């Protein structure tokens, strides 16, 4: 945002200077512009500044995914320790894990996913890479457990979600036990408004959601899996 503001100020300033200087100049606008840039040091500096700011903005845009990955990697180290703590085990049993705290480890061997999922799907929580929809059942519980994840930033845990196929295994390791799901249908696309994909169900299942296509929030890519084993008491 700051880059955009500075670029706008410089462009407007340079434009104003050029317009003023062009008054009464040659009819050919190109020749007049070149002449103004030759004679007006402020305009040259302003245009150079715009170029530098645009270059920095482009660099920031290109490296943004990298820096989010670095942030997520560091956060995952802390979340792994938290997931193994007695406090999280207690909170999980009481169903009172706070937004942004460790909730479960998600493993998808077919595409190399191994990430600690936090509670919540707020922008802040999802900086961990993946977050649990708080209105859905806890991991491994009865019903439709639903998890959202980033596809191109913050570790990109769901980057290859579209490569999953029926029969692929998904494992959830919670503070009180593990369970296994198998992908039941091919990944499919829905509109962002199709919230029924995370609605609760009678059968125990897992729903994973991410943005589609890559780098866009225009649609959602969905993977659904049926629970096949559970090592959690009461599940």
Q: Examine the domain organization and report whether 54 and 96 are in the same domain.
A: no
Q: Examine the domain organization and report whether 61 and 114 are in the same domain.
A: no
> Band of the pLDDT at 3, cuts 50, 70, 90?
very low
Q: What is the mean pLDDT of residues 175-203?
A: 97
Q: Examine the domain organization and report whether 100 and 42 are in the same domain.
A: no
> Quick check: is 62 in a domain?
yes
Q: Examine the domain organization and report whether 110 and 225 are in the same domain.
A: yes
Mean residue pLDDT of the chain comes to 84
Q: What is the pLDDT of residue 67?
A: 83
Flag whether pLDDT at 194 surpasses 60: yes
Residue 154: phi and psi, rounded to 5, are: 50, 55
Flag whether pLDDT at 154 surpasses 70: yes
Q: How far is CA 148 from CA 28, 92, 125, 221, in A?
A: 58, 19, 11, 10
> Band of the pLDDT at 235, cuts 50, 70, 90?
very low
Domain hosting residue 176, numbered range: 84-230
> Quick check: is 108 in a domain?
yes
Q: What is the pLDDT of residue 61?
A: 44
Q: Is residue 52 helix, strand or coil?
A: helix
Q: What is the mean pLDDT of residues 182-210?
A: 97
Residue with the bigger pLDDT between 190 and 60: it is: 190
Write down the residue that tokens 């703590």 correspond to. Answer: 85
**Of 12-21, 156-165, 180-189, the least confident:** 12-21
Residue with the bigger pLDDT between 180 and 46: it is: 180
> Quick check: is 77 in a domain?
no
Q: What is the mean pLDDT of residues 98-107?
A: 98
Q: Examine the domain organization and report whether 148 and 98 are in the same domain.
A: yes
Q: What is the pLDDT of residue 11?
A: 46
pLDDT, one tens digit per residue, over 111-143 is 999 999 999 999 999 999 999 999 999 999 999
> Quick check: is 75 in a domain?
no
The Cα 222–Cα 59 span in angstroms is 32
The CATH number of whichever domain residue 188 belongs to comes to: 2.40.260.10
Q: What is the pLDDT of residue 57?
A: 46
Q: Examine the domain organization and report whether 110 and 28 are in the same domain.
A: no
Q: Examine the domain organization and report whether 109 and 44 are in the same domain.
A: no
> Quick check: is 93 in a domain?
yes
Residue 136: phi and psi, rounded to 5, are: -105, 165
- Domain final position from 19, 34, 67: 67
Number of domains in the chain: 2
Give buried/exposed letters for 210-232 (b at 16+ CB in 10 A, else e).
Answer: bbbeeeeeeebbbbbbbbeebee
> Quick check: is 34 in a domain?
yes
> Quick check: is 79 in a domain?
no
Q: What is the pLDDT of residue 232?
A: 77
Q: How far is CA 8 from CA 93, 160, 224, in A?
A: 53, 38, 46
Q: Examine the domain organization and report whether 104 and 183 are in the same domain.
A: yes
Q: Examine the domain organization and report whether 115 and 222 are in the same domain.
A: yes
Dihedral (CA of 25, 26, 29, 35) sign? negative
Residue 200 neighbours by CB distance under 10 Å: 13
Q: Examine the domain organization and report whether 63 and 93 are in the same domain.
A: no
> Quick check: is 190 in a domain?
yes
pLDDT, one tens digit per residue, over 40-97 is 666 555 556 655 454 434 444 445 668 899 999 999 999 999 999 999 999 999 999 9
The Cα 85–Cα 101 span in angstroms is 11
> Band of the pLDDT at 231, cuts 50, 70, 90?
confident
Q: Are 119 and 98 in contact (CB under 8 A)?
A: yes
Q: Examine the domain organization and report whether 51 and 140 are in the same domain.
A: no
Q: Examine the domain organization and report whether 45 and 160 are in the same domain.
A: no
Flag whether pLDDT at 177 surpasses 60: yes
């Amino acid at each position: 945002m700051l880059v955009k503001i500075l670029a706008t100020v410089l462009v407007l300033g340079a434009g104003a200077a050029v317009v003023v200087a062009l008054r009464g100049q040659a009819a050919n606008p190109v020749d007049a512009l070149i002449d103004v840039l030759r004679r007006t040091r402020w305009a040259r500096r302003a245009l150079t500044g715009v170029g530098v700011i645009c270059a920095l903005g482009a660099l920031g845009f290109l490296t943004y995914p990298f820096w989010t990955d670095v942030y997520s990697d560091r956060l995952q180290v802390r979340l792994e320790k938290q997931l193994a703590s007695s406090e999280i085990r207690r909170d999980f049993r009481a169903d009172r894990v706070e937004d942004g705290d460790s909730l479960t480890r998600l493993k998808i061997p077919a595409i190399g996913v191994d990430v600690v999922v936090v509670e919540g799907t707020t922008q802040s929580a999802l900086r961990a890479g993946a977050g649990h929809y708080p209105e859905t059942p806890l991991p491994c519980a009865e019903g439709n457990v639903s998890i959202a994840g980033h596809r191109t930033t913050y570790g990109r845990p769901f980057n290859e979600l579209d490569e999953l196929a029926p029969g692929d295994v998904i494992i959830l390791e919670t503070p009180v036990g593990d369970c296994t799901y198998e992908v039941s249908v091919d990944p499919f696309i829905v509109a962002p408004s199709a919230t029924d994909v995370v609605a609760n169900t009678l059968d125990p299942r897992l729903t994973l959601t991410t943005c589609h296509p890559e780098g866009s929030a225009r649609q959602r890519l969905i993977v659904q899996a049926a629970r096949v084993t559970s090592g959690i008491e009461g599940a």
